[in-house]
Amino acid sequence: MAVKRIWEVPSVHMESPMPRNMQIVFTPQKDAEVGDLSLLVVNLYPHGGSTGLHIHAEGDEMIFIDSGYGEGVDGDKKFEIRPDTVLYAKQGVTHCITNHSDQTMRLICVFCPKMPDERVRLLTETATVKFKPI
């Protein structure tokens, strides 16, 4: 069994379309024992941090909301999201998550099939470890 601690996984700060932190935890491009899926942790900053409206042309995404609350968009539907909400974004469907809370919104995202090589490269080439255990 492969084990990682989130605070030890390098993260990359993204400014566009909204400021957020992203960590690729497991993906076959970096972890030989992982099958055809990728696990990504996204931290959206309080009061407006967002994934921005986007589409995944290469596969589906399952998103677990671990903390924070806000709004989700799936195609032309808008809905409230809070902790312990699970979202499923089908391949080719426009979607977005926006944080309206006073705390960081943590998203646990699973991509199936795995994220494209170029996206993994962009999210890992400048990633650094930013968190230290207490």
Q: Per-residue pLDDT tens for 44-53? A: 999 999 999 9
- Start-to-end C-alpha separation, the chain: 25
Strand order in the sheet with 77-81: 77-81, 70-74, 95-99
| Residue of 61, 50, 41, 47 whose CA lies nearest to 20 | 50
Percent of the chain surpassing pLDDT 70: 96
16-118 in CATH: which number?
A: 2.60.120.10
> Is the predicted pLDDT of residue 119 greater than 60, yes or no?
yes
pLDDT at residue 42, as a whole number? 96
Does the pLDDT of residue 31 top 60, yes or no?
A: yes
Which pLDDT band holds residue 132 (cuts at 50, 70, 90)? low
pLDDT of amino acid 134: 47
Q: How many CB atoms lie within 10 A of CB 31?
A: 15
The yes-or-no verdict on residue 127 having pLDDT over 60 is yes
pLDDT average, residue stretch 80-108: 96
